[in-house]
Amino acid sequence: MERTKLPVSNHLFLVKNNEILLYRRKWGVQEGKYNVIAGHLDGGETATEAIIREAQEEAGIIIKPENLKFACVSHSFAGDKEYVQFFMYCEEREWQIQNLEPERCYEMKFFPINDLPENTTPYIKKAIECFLDKIYYYEYK
């Protein structure tokens, strides 16, 4: 049997005053659903480097590595694709959040972390629940 080669993605829970930053996707399978800042690792970068890059590319914020904390990790399945996903969080630091990818994102705004919109992407909702419950690993099919 051949060893699996899973794509790795990173997600950022940007939290302030018991609210979390979500963006509503403008493209792809999850069109119209809320997600968090996220992206795949580029070759040769760490998970921390990747989420710092994504935060700057998508929202115009600069995060220092020491301000990131581990939330959880998942092994997820989406149709015929399989992923390893890292979730990190950072307390909001009075950044000026900008939607730097308007072709991919309708809006970015904060929502109560315990009352997410109904159209939140299911695996993101599960990851946020795990984060709140201090569950550091989960599997999602």
- DSSP secondary structure letter of residue 66: G
Cα(136)–Cα(89) distance, rounded to whole angstroms? 13
- The pLDDT, as a whole number, for residue 6 is 84
**H/E stretch holding 57:** helix 47-59
Closest by alpha carbon to 88, among 8, 9, 12? Answer: 12
SS3 at position 123 = helix
Q: Which domains does the chain have, with CATH numbers?
A: 8-140 (3.90.79.10)
Cα(115)–Cα(48) distance, rounded to whole angstroms? 28
Give the tens place of pLDDT for each residue, 121-136: 999 999 999 999 999 9
Give the tens place of pLDDT for each residue, 32-67: 999 999 999 998 999 999 999 999 999 999 999 999
Whole-structure pTM value: 0.92
